[in-house]
Amino acid sequence: MPRKALIIVLAVLVLGGVLSGVLYWRWYNSPRYALQQMALALKTRNMETFFKYLDMKAIFNNFLEASSRDQDPDLDPDTDEWTQMTRRLGRKFARFMLPQLFNTFESQIRGVLENYLLNLDNTQILGVAAAATTARIDARGDEALVTLTDPKTKEPLRFQMQRQANGGLWQIVAVNHQDLKRFYRRQFR
């Protein structure tokens, strides 16, 4: 083989290797990779890996904030001033106390969630894996809005992911309040 052809082949191989490495690095550091790792952890029943991609405290705090906005007394013009004031006071008290309760009951909350996830059958796990693969992800910097769509009901489950500073791991930090309420009603009632 002539020397010129050998140099061209080597250059193409090096360029292909570099391009492959960059593409792999981008995928490895993406929210989709985190979702696929969560689905794989469900399939292998590795709950430690699954929970590595969830920031339970942030999810709880964001859920608390969204549910308190749901009960905003200023949105109801028929309530009197006393009722509005006591509701605001109750919301402030809840914002103070509920995170403390979460710290106390975090292991029990995780245990309930873990028990639910371990009881998923293979069909449900495959559905989760398919949803993770086809998820709509709108990533902007270190935050991403993710929408999973239930193939049967076509209902969305929207949540927010955030890249953590310690190594670029993407974690779920917030779940859409309305979507979670709808999921809860459908699964547990």
Higher pLDDT, 155 or 152: 155
Give pLDDT, residue 15: 87
Instruction: Using DSSP bridges, classify how beta strands 143-149 and 156-163 pair: parallel, antiparallel or unpaired.
Output: antiparallel
**170 closest CA partner among 131, 132, 143:** 143
- Chain centroid to Cα 62, Å, comes to 12
Phi, psi of 111 (to 5 degrees): -65, -40
Range in 72-86, 96-110, 155-169 with the lowest mean pLDDT:
72-86
Name, in order, each residue with C-beta under 8 angstroms of 33's C-beta and a sequence gap of 6 or more: 27, 170
**144 closest CA partner among 135, 155, 134:** 135
Mean of the pLDDT values across residues 144-167? 86
Q: Which two tokens stand for residue 187?
A: 């699964």
Give pLDDT, residue 46: 93
Q: Which two tokens stand for residue 26?
A: 């981008």
Angstrom distance (rounded) from CA 98 to CA 2:
74
Angstrom distance (rounded) from CA 138 to CA 159:
11
Pick from 58-62, 73-77, 99-103, 159-163 the range whose average pLDDT is largest: 159-163
Name, in order, each residue with C-beta under 8 angstroms of 177's C-beta and a sequence gap of 6 or more: 63, 66, 67, 70
pLDDT band at 75 (very low <50, low <70, confident <90, very high): low
> In which element (H, E) is residue 159 found?
strand 156-163
Range in 65-74, 76-85, 90-99 with the lowest mean pLDDT:
65-74
**38 closest CA partner among 162, 165, 134, 171:** 171
Name, in order, each residue with C-beta under 8 angstroms of 172's C-beta and a sequence gap of 6 or more: 53, 54, 55, 59, 146, 159, 160, 161
Is the pLDDT assigned to residue 18 strictly greater than 60?
yes
Partnered with residue 147 across adjacent β-strands are 136, 158
Is the pLDDT assigned to residue 73 strictly greater than 60?
no
pTM of this prediction exceeds 0.85: no
